[in-house]
């Protein structure tokens, strides 16, 4: 009999869980819906057939199938971790005065701001993410970038790097994001140094990871901020609830409500084709598949997460609040 791995309320038979992932990978690898992102020229070059699923539990068990070592840029998933760093730098009360936590119901790149409160709506849409990144401390551009890279090192357990070609591509074509930054400057939402903030934002989005990394990062959030592979703390535990709350309500853009209803766990997507999902106290999930739906979410990734939630009973409001159990033979 396979060894049981106990992860909080999750009781896992390794062969059973791996079989679930293999079945899902086989089921959805032929799904041809969606299209790769092309508004950033470098992203349009990615192979649409790439597909991987990875789960890492809070006690460090790893289950993965497909192209889980394939590298890609993290894109909007980076917003989750930049938000955590801004919270550590300034505390939740101050950050809340600069960036709200309300879902918008609009696309991730919508140019909408809360003019009454003088804040972007939340840190998961582009305007809010740019404002959040502008809060990261440092005496200059190099120190601030190094702090961001060090942060990602803590979450992944290894050094990370910026894809210069993707960064340059985003920087040269990111006119919409630049317009948002100038609009926020007009309303006093960010300070004068918007070019430095935009460069750091484009760099954080161009950080290179793989599907395994996504799952480890998600598991770190599930494990109250401690990386379950390295045992090192990545973020102050007091901010985990802030991060996960905003992920749950805003992380899937204008699909967030339906995601909460059908999948029921905090998650964040990116136009790279990645989805990072967190089952608190149990596991982190990473899925990578580049073709996106009209909302900018991975088509295969959404379907995989829906089925994982159903099969493993991960929904926060089902099965005793996310308790799940996989037995051999089920």
Q: Are 242 and 92 in contact (CB under 8 A)?
A: yes
Residue at a domain's end among 164, 188, 205: 205
In a domain? residue 133:
yes
In a domain? residue 330:
no
Residue at a domain's end among 158, 175, 205: 205
Active site residue 201: yes
- Residue 92's Cα: distance from chain center in Å? 20
Active site residue 29: no
Alpha-carbon distance of 241 to 267, in angstroms, equals 13
Per the structure block, which two tokens stand in for 49?
């057939």
Same structural domain for residues 199 and 83? yes
Ramachandran angles phi, psi of 209, nearest 5° = -140, 180
Active site residue 271: yes
Catalytic one among 201, 235, 268, 298? 201
Alpha-carbon distance of 77 to 45, in angstroms, equals 20
Same structural domain for residues 96 and 199? yes
Q: Are 268 and 205 in contact (CB under 8 A)?
A: no
Same structural domain for residues 147 and 247? no
Same structural domain for residues 82 and 197? yes
Same structural domain for residues 42 and 83? no
Alpha-carbon distance of 310 to 302, in angstroms, equals 12
Catalytic one among 63, 121, 239, 253? 253
State residue 40's pLDDT score.
82
pLDDT of the chain, 330 residues: tens digit per residue: 233 334 444 555 767 899 999 999 999 999 999 999 888 888 889 999 999 999 999 999 999 999 999 999 999 999 999 999 999 999 999 999 999 998 875 555 455 655 666 678 899 998 899 999 999 999 999 999 999 999 999 999 999 999 999 999 989 888 888 888 888 887 777 876 888 999 999 999 999 999 999 999 999 999 999 999 999 999 999 999 999 999 999 999 889 999 999 999 999 999 999 999 999 999 999 999 999 999 999 999 999 999 999 999 999 998 755 455 444 333
Quote the domain boundaries for residue 152: 76-205
Catalytic one among 78, 79, 216, 302? 79
CATH code of residue 110:
3.40.710.10
In a domain? residue 329:
no
* Cα–Cα–Cα angle for 172, 143, 168, rounded to 5 degrees: 15
Active site residue 118: no
Coil, strand or helix at 291: coil
Q: How many domains does the chain have?
A: 2
State residue 3's pLDDT score.
33
Catalytic one among 7, 52, 76, 309? 76
Alpha-carbon distance of 115 to 111, in angstroms, equals 12
Q: Which positions make up the binding site for substrate?
A: 76, 126, 170, 177, 201, 253, 271
Active site residue 324: no
State residue 117's pLDDT score.
61
Alpha-carbon distance of 285 to 14, in angstroms, equals 15
């Amino acid at each position: 009999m396979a060894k049981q791995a106990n992860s909080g309320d999750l009781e896992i038979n390794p062969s059973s869980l791996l079989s679930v992932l293999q079945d899902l990978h086989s089921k959805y690898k032929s799904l041809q819906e969606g299209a790769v992102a092309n508004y950033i020229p470098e992203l349009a070059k990615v192979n649409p057939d790439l597909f991987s699923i990875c789960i890492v539990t809070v006690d460090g068990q790893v289950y993965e199938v497909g192209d889980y070592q394939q590298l890609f840029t993290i894109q909007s998933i980076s917003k989750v971790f930049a938000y955590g760093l801004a919270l550590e730098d300034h505390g939740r009360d101050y950050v809340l005065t600069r960036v709200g936590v309300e879902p918008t119901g609009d696309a991730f790149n919508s140019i909408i701001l809360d003019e009454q409160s003088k804040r972007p709506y939340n840190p998961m849409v582009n305007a809010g993410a740019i404002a959040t990144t502008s809060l990261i401390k440092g005496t200059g551009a190099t120190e601030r970038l190094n702090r961001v890279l060090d942060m990602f090192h803590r979450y992944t357990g290894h050094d990370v790097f910026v894809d210069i070609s993707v960064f340059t591509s985003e920087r040269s074509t990111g006119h919409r994001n630049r317009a948002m930054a100038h609009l926020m400057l007009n309303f006093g939402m960010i300070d004068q140094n918007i070019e430095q903030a935009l460069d750091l934002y484009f760099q954080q989005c161009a950080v290179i990871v793989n599907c395994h990394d996504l799952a480890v990062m998600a598991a770190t959030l599930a494990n109250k901020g401690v990386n379950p592979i390295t045992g090192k703390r990545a973020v102050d535990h007091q901010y985990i609830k802030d991060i996960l709350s905003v992920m749950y309500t805003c992380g899937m853009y204008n699909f967030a409500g339906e995601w909460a209803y059908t999948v029921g766990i905090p998650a964040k997507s990116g136009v790279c084709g990645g989805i990072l999902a967190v089952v608190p106290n149990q596991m982190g999930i990473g899925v990578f598949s580049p073709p996106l739906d009209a909302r900018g979410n991975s088509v295969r990734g959404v379907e995989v997460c829906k089925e994982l939630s159903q099969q493993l009973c991960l929904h926060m409001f089902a099965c005793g609040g996310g308790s799940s159990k996989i037995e051999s033979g089920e």
